[in-house]
Amino acid sequence: MGSPTSYDPHAIEARRQAAWRERGAARTPAVQDDLPHLYIKPSAPFTSGNVHIGHVRSYSIGDAYARFRRARGDQVLFNFGFDAFGLPAELGAIDRGIPPSEWVARCATHMTGQLQRLGFSFDWERTFLSSDPVMYRWSQWLFLTLLEAGLVYRGTGTVDWCDTCQTTLATIQVEDGLCWRCHNPVRLIERPTWYLRISAYVPENDRRLQERADSGKWDEVALASQRFVLGRVDGVEVELSAQDGTKLTVFTPHAEALEQARFVLISPKHPEIDAWADEPQVRERLEELRSGGLERSSRDAAKIPLVDTRRTLPAPAGGASLPVLISPGVDGRFGATAVFGVPEADRTDEVLAERIGALVSEAREGVPPSISGEQPHAKPEPRQAVRYKAEDFSISRQRSWGTPIPIVYCEEHGAVPLPKEQLPVALPLDITPTGTGNPLAELRSFVETTCPLCGGPAERETDTLDCHFDALWLWVPACVPPESREDSLEQILALPDLRHWLPSERVVAGSDSGNFVFDQRIVTKALRDIGPLAFLEDGEPFAGCLFHEMVISEGRKMSKHLGNVVDPDALVERYGADTVRLAVLYAARPQKTLNWSDSAVLRAHRFLTQVWEFTQTRLAAAQQEQGAGESQAAGADGEPIRDTSEHLRLKLAQWTEKGVEKITEDMEGLEMHSAVRNVMRLFDRIKDFEKRVLARQPALGAADDEALFAALSLLAQLLGPFAPHMAEELWISLGKDESAVQTPWPGVSLQEIAA
């Protein structure tokens, strides 16, 4: 300890972080189109309280990539905004009995400190909270814009409701059918809600996905998640007419087994469902389904609800006509549509067929289904068809901590959107939610307003936007320079910055972000057609995408309950930020689940310690030689050392050249795990070189020293993206220029970086 050659990460990291702040190392360069530039988009963290090891993984990957690109001379925008609205923040505030605004501010401060201690090179001047009015006015603007375009609409949805607490509950607030707070039974209610019509752009998202794949910048895991969200099912559809003339288009993925269709299932959300539920009994059961009475039952084919409409459709291939049943089981598999049940081709249908057999014969006793519909017409022609599971979703929540929806309800004019000039509708900040009631709706000063059309009394919408909706645009204001942040949205949309930075070159986020990315792709297409993002011709906000998997521990997801949580602060405290960052990169390739193991940290720490001490002791020795005025290294006998190891130096040069090549390739492909391993291997080679030279001669000659330090310099450069603090200190120790933004990548000159 204390020796100049020993590795003291805390001192090094404090020094470097101060230097970075001083020179604004992570500041976004001003817009200059002629320079290569890119926007790397990390995920927007929830203001949940603490940075966890999953964040560390995510940002270590993104930061390594950002530093790599900067080191190669690219202009980089790398920053994020906190996703500050939402239930977790509200629950955190309830827990502490403070207003959510206070809680998220506290979280943001604390998490920013943690992230800075880890040395991530975000442009902090551009960081923001989505709960800031200057920011959430964007959500309100987006809401109104999409509403005008018919992409936001009002519908009904079902939610859990607690009669005792007089409030709606999220699924995570319902424990075994009881309210989390008062432990009384919960019931499902229907209430009006706002929907986002993503269905309008789902087919285009599908079409554009192949282009993403062809670009090579979309990782396989990311593509797979987009396909999963899309839920594309290929098959055929047939238009059938019932005896009374009611038509229904029925789909099946089993084109070849159309003749074996035995029944028709129709989703309760099917647009024409009412025509099929005309009998009072059927209607009643459909209502039960819709209000959720049956919906929370098992997804199991043996238990999923089935409602017999007591009607039939002719079979597509002739023969006995098919009973028509309503079942929510359709949605999860094919979306809100109607499908054939083909027991011989489909396992689920086989199970359903047995149940239907009993159901139908019971309900239709005396009316054998086989004679009711001999097909008099020509066979209907099946045609190719596609169905998507992705469907419109609810974007409003009965919560007091969220973006207020810019709608007022006027007795005369009904739901009236506010003019955009009146934005933002401010969220009152003096609310301290307790988990009961609806604080926003109870606040008369917020609710009471006037109708923008007639000036008469009106009430504000008291639902707020789901924070998923905020996330649809969080990547846009990230491109806005801080000084323009408060400008009008028209001004901001006219800035060259958006055109400059968008589309983002790469999203680096957890694989659970599939839905966000999908919906961001949808909204971009909508804004392209509406106008503001017309410059994104393909409607794609992200040119590339890397999804990393999560960090688990002891084979399980981390949870306080299991006691297997890994605390990044404790690791940083013990080993320093460089070690922790290196360890999470080293432990597994991004796309793989990282099963936490201390051995990776120990390995990373030992590696950094060795690199540091090896370099520093060699430097100290070389300086001592120079100080002694020796022009050449000397052996124990005082005889000058002859450089006899030319082939070893050559070999070292080859190794480093090969290593640089390989690591550069790894970094371009965001294979940080492989890059780190290759850096470690290179260090082994460097040590090996010295060892071999010393096996031949008593000490290193001048040319050997030169080769050694050249290799160590390269090593420092290659370490830059992973262990930036130590890399830069080594770089300085080796006599390089400290004024550079950071260690340049091998082969890149400082001029290129400073440009």
Sole window of 491-499, 595-603, 627-635, 655-663 interacting with RNA (rule: CB under 7 A): 595-603
- What are the backbone dihedrals phi and psi of residue 190, each rounded to the nearest 5 degrees, phi first? -100, 140
- Rounded least distance, CB 332 to RNA, Å: 5
Q: Which is nearer to RNA, 74 or 160 (CB)?
A: 160
Rounded to whole angstroms, the Cα distance separating 68 from 753 reads: 12
Binding-residue pattern over the window 32 to 71 for RNA, x denoting contact by CB under 7 A: ----------------------------------------
- Rounded least distance, CB 511 to RNA, Å: 8
431: tokens are 């609310």
- Rounded least distance, CB 627 to RNA, Å: 26
**Which one among 589, 658, 662, 736 touches RNA, defined by CB under 7 A?**
589
Amino acid letter at 14? A
- Rounded least distance, CB 600 to RNA, Å: 6
**Which one among 177, 185, 203, 332 touches RNA, defined by CB under 7 A?**
332
Rounded to whole angstroms, the Cα distance separating 136 from 126 reads: 15
How is residue 83 annotated by DSSP?
Answer: B
- Asked whether position 21 contacts RNA by CB under 7 A, the answer is no
Sole window of 112-120, 449-457, 486-494, 593-601 interacting with RNA (rule: CB under 7 A): 593-601
Q: Which is nearer to RNA, 39 or 334 (CB)?
A: 334
Q: Is 310 in a helix, a strand, or coil?
A: strand
Strands 383-388 and 232-241: antiparallel
Q: Which is nearer to RNA, 170 or 386 (CB)?
A: 170
Q: Which is nearer to RNA, 224 or 453 (CB)?
A: 224
Q: Which is nearer to RNA, 391 or 538 (CB)?
A: 391
- Asked whether position 471 contacts RNA by CB under 7 A, the answer is yes
**Which one among 279, 391, 569, 706 touches RNA, defined by CB under 7 A?**
391
Q: Is 29 in a helix, a strand, or coil?
A: coil
**Which one among 18, 30, 35, 172 touches RNA, defined by CB under 7 A?**
172
Q: Is 302 in a helix, a strand, or coil?
A: coil
- Rounded least distance, CB 191 to RNA, Å: 7
Instruction: Enumerate residues 6+ apart whose C-beta is below 8 A from 661.
Output: none
User: Beta-carbon neighbour count of residue 85 at 10 Å?
Assistant: 32
CA torsion, points 117, 119, 121, 124, in degrees to nearest 10?
Answer: 10
**Which one among 110, 355, 603, 736 touches RNA, defined by CB under 7 A?**
603
**Which one among 121, 205, 252, 394 touches RNA, defined by CB under 7 A?**
394
Rounded to whole angstroms, the Cα distance separating 725 from 742 reads: 10
Smallest Cα–Cα separation from 474: which of 46, 107, 27? Answer: 46
- Asked whether position 719 contacts RNA by CB under 7 A, the answer is no
- Rounded least distance, CB 455 to RNA, Å: 32
Half-sphere exposure for 339 (CA within 13 Å, toward CB):
32
- Asked whether position 348 contacts RNA by CB under 7 A, the answer is yes
User: Binders of RNA among 498-557, rule CB under 7 A?
Assistant: 512, 515-516, 552, 555-557
Rounded to whole angstroms, the Cα distance separating 511 from 220 reads: 11
- Rounded least distance, CB 91 to RNA, Å: 9
- Rounded least distance, CB 48 to RNA, Å: 9
Q: Is 604 left (phi over 0), alpha (psi -120 to 50) or beta?
A: alpha
Binding-residue pattern over the window 425 to 454 for RNA, x denoting contact by CB under 7 A: ------------------------------
- Asked whether position 157 contacts RNA by CB under 7 A, the answer is yes
**Which one among 241, 372, 609, 617 touches RNA, defined by CB under 7 A?**
609
Question: Which strand ranges, in their side-by-side order, compose the sheet holding 232-241?
Answer: 307-313, 322-326, 263-266, 338-341, 247-252, 232-241, 383-388
- Asked whether position 459 contacts RNA by CB under 7 A, the answer is no
- Asked whether position 466 contacts RNA by CB under 7 A, the answer is yes
Q: Are 115 and 51 in contact (CB under 8 A)?
A: yes
User: Beta-carbon neighbour count of residue 485 at 10 Å?
Assistant: 14
Rounded to whole angstroms, the Cα distance separating 590 from 509 reads: 10
- Asked whether position 577 contacts RNA by CB under 7 A, the answer is no
**Which one among 8, 206, 288, 331 touches RNA, defined by CB under 7 A?**
331
Q: Which is nearer to RNA, 305 or 544 (CB)?
A: 305
**Which one among 8, 29, 49, 87 touches RNA, defined by CB under 7 A?**
87
Q: Which is nearer to RNA, 87 or 213 (CB)?
A: 87
Smallest Cα–Cα separation from 397: which of 88, 639, 671? Answer: 88
- Rounded least distance, CB 161 to RNA, Å: 10
- Rounded least distance, CB 497 to RNA, Å: 26
- Rounded least distance, CB 646 to RNA, Å: 26
- Asked whether position 235 contacts RNA by CB under 7 A, the answer is no
Q: Which is nearer to RNA, 28 or 167 (CB)?
A: 167
Q: Which is nearer to RNA, 377 or 560 (CB)?
A: 560
- Helix 9-23 and helix 724-733: axis angle, to 10°? 90
Rounded to whole angstroms, the Cα distance separating 542 from 254 reads: 35
Rounded to whole angstroms, the Cα distance separating 352 from 304 reads: 9
Cis peptide before 503 (omega within 30 of 0): yes
Instruction: Enumerate residues 6+ apart whose C-beta is below 8 A from 452.
Output: 408, 416, 418, 419, 422
User: Binders of RNA among 679-698, rule CB under 7 A?
Assistant: 680, 684
**Which one among 215, 361, 593, 623 touches RNA, defined by CB under 7 A?**
593
- Rounded least distance, CB 433 to RNA, Å: 14
Question: Which strand ranges, in their side-by-side order, compose the sheet holding 396-397?
Answer: 396-397, 464-465, 403-404
DSSP assignment of 380-437: PPPEEEEEES---EE-EES-SSSEEP-EEEETTTEEEEPPGGG---PPPS-----SSS
- Asked whether position 658 contacts RNA by CB under 7 A, the answer is no
- Asked whether position 393 contacts RNA by CB under 7 A, the answer is yes
**Which one among 86, 576, 590, 744 touches RNA, defined by CB under 7 A?**
86
How is residue 510 annotated by DSSP?
Answer: E
- Asked whether position 347 contacts RNA by CB under 7 A, the answer is yes
Torsion sign over Cα 464, 466, 472, 473? positive
Sole window of 196-204, 371-379, 587-595, 740-748 interacting with RNA (rule: CB under 7 A): 587-595
- Rounded least distance, CB 331 to RNA, Å: 4
Rounded to whole angstroms, the Cα distance separating 446 from 438 reads: 12
Chain residues binding RNA by CB under 7 A are: 86-88, 157, 159-160, 168-173, 191, 193, 224, 228, 295, 299-301, 328, 331-333, 347-348, 391, 393-394, 396-398, 466-469, 471, 512, 515-516, 552, 555-557, 587-589, 592-595, 597-600, 602-603, 606, 609-610, 673-674, 677, 680, 684
